């Protein structure tokens, strides 16, 4: 069994996949689109990756504000997660993603990537951070 992590943004969707033992998350790809509301190809790519990696569950990052309130982006992510669940038939879990892009950017800064290089990978790194947070929490709950 593998779990997919998604970092859904305005024009991109970062994708990460767990290992089969559900211990680690690896960044896989960033799905890019030309228009924010044109999601057909994004959903198709997610469905294809679900089959390729034999994904059984999907974790979608939920961008709440630091004061725990929701924004338009939060609502968009909820709707996206529902659509992903309908399209793939997979259980979809919303997971708090506050500051994951900041964390991903710091990691990439430490790696010495320039602005352009960071832009190419930051979303899939953020997806891996979201998924790793979920995996770590589940491991703690299992004891």
CA distance 15 to 6: 5
Q: What is the pLDDT of residue 117?
A: 81
Range of the domain at 40: 2-142
Number of domains making up the chain: 1
Mean pLDDT confidence for 131-137: 96
CATH of the domain at 82: 3.30.420.140
Q: How confident is the model at residue 46 (pLDDT cuts 50, 70, 90)?
A: very high
- Helix %, strand %, coil % for the chain, to 5? 50, 25, 25
Chain segment 77-110, per-residue pLDDT in tens: 999 999 999 999 999 999 998 777 778 888 888 8
* Residue 11, helix vs strand vs coil: coil
CA distance 126 to 104: 5
Looking at per-residue confidence, does 62 or 114 come out higher? 62
Whether the model pTM is above 0.85: yes
Triad 119, 8, 3: Cα angle to 5°: 105
CA distance 77 to 69: 14
């Amino acid at each position: 069994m593998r779990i997919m992590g998604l970092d859904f943004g305005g024009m991109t969707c970062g994708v990460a996949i767990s290992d089969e033992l559900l211990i680690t998350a690896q960044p896989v790809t960033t799905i890019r689109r030309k228009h924010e509301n044109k999601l057909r190809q994004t959903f198709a790519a997610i469905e294809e990756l679900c089959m390729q990696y034999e994904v059984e569950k999907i974790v979608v990052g939920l961008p709440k504000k630091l004061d725990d309130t929701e924004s338009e982006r939060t609502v968009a992510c909820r709707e996206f997660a529902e659509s992903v669940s309908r399209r793939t038939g997979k259980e979809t879990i919303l997971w708090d993603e506050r500051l994951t892009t900041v964390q991903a950017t710091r990691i990439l800064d430490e790696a010495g990537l320039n602005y352009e290089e960071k832009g190419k990978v930051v979303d899939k790194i953020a997806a891996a951070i979201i998924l790793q947070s979920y995996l770590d929490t589940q491991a703690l709950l299992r004891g």
